[in-house]
Amino acid sequence: MIEIKEINQRVRDVWNANAQWWDNQVGDIDIAHEYVVNPAMETLLTIKPGERVLEIASGNGTFARSLARLGASVLACDFSEELLKRAKARTIDTSGSIEYRLLDATDQDQLASLGERCFHAAVVSMALMDMANIEPLIQAFSRLLVPEGRFVFSVTHPCFNSLGTQTQWLGTEGVLVKDYIQPAIGDENAKPGQPIRHPFFHRPLWHLFGICFQAGFVLDGLLEPVPPEWLQAEQPEKWKRYSRIPHVMVTRWRLLKQE
């Protein structure tokens, strides 16, 4: 437990240190999120106007603002004080409502303070792989969501875009998977040029999905989005490699109905 707390503090320190650089890079919306991640997330979330949505690891607020424009009332939480400052500065005008809150999603007591059965949906966009411990959060979702609620998360693809993989050219570009089956921790850059590498937590599917199953959820939807053809044509050196091998996985979960 002490080790997890120490790792978690390091994660927080790194994201606080990288916050200004990250915000400058991402801006109001990152191209990968706008054209690859967010459309898949929104497809599985199926937000209805007036729904209350909890976002964990909201960063500088890009997806929270997208949810608000869809008509949701959003509670956007992050444990980086510096990222929250930048999220608030960028949230000038939305068609919905957003409340930003400092919250450590690895802390059971802080998660309990959010209430019970008060959210129609919960979302974690491209962040679970950056969290030292996700069990408390997934367990909390089972209490925070209304009975017909759902939660959706996106992650770098555990099979094709994680610590044990690398892009290789073998006549055609592909992905070499060297290590997969066991959970692992390493340091990664989310974007080229990131000032400080951050801890990255590889969770193979059996482990990642198993945590959700143990919390009483069933898998209700899964997408493996690839970049649209126009983006591949516009920036082939960056996006063509992902045309047939997805670098992102998006899933939707609902509580198992009790008989």
Strand partners, 218: 254
Cα→Cα distances 58→43, 62, 102, 236, Å: 19, 8, 10, 29
Q: What is the pLDDT of residues 127-164, one digit of tens each?
A: 999 999 999 999 999 999 999 999 999 999 999 999 99
Q: Which helix (H) or strand (E) holds 237?
A: helix 236-239
pLDDT at 73: 96
Average pLDDT over residues 252-257: 92
Q: What pLDDT, on a 0 to 100 scale, did the predictor assign at position 96?
A: 62
Q: What is the pLDDT of residues 6-43, one digit of tens each?
A: 999 999 999 999 999 999 988 877 889 999 999 999 99
63 SS3 class: helix
Band (166; pLDDT cuts 50, 70, 90)? confident
Measured CA to CA, the distance from residue 67 to residue 144 in angstroms comes to 18
Q: What is the mean pLDDT of residues 50-61?
A: 97
Q: How confident is the model at residue 259 (pLDDT cuts 50, 70, 90)?
A: low
Q: What is the total residue count of the chain?
A: 259
User: One-letter amino acid identity for 185?
Assistant: I
Residue 174's pLDDT is: 83
| pLDDT in the model for residue 167 | 82
Q: Please report which confidence band the pLDDT of residue 94 belongs to, taking 50, 70 and 90 as the band edges.
A: low
Chain segment 196-246, per-residue pLDDT in tens: 999 999 999 999 999 999 999 999 999 999 999 999 999 888 888 889 999
Per-residue pLDDT band for 68 (boundaries 50, 70, 90) equals: very high
* Cβ-contact 118, 144 below 8 angstroms: yes
pLDDT value, residue 92:
79
Q: What is the pLDDT of residues 151-160, one digit of tens each?
A: 999 999 999 9
Percent above pLDDT 90 for the chain: 81
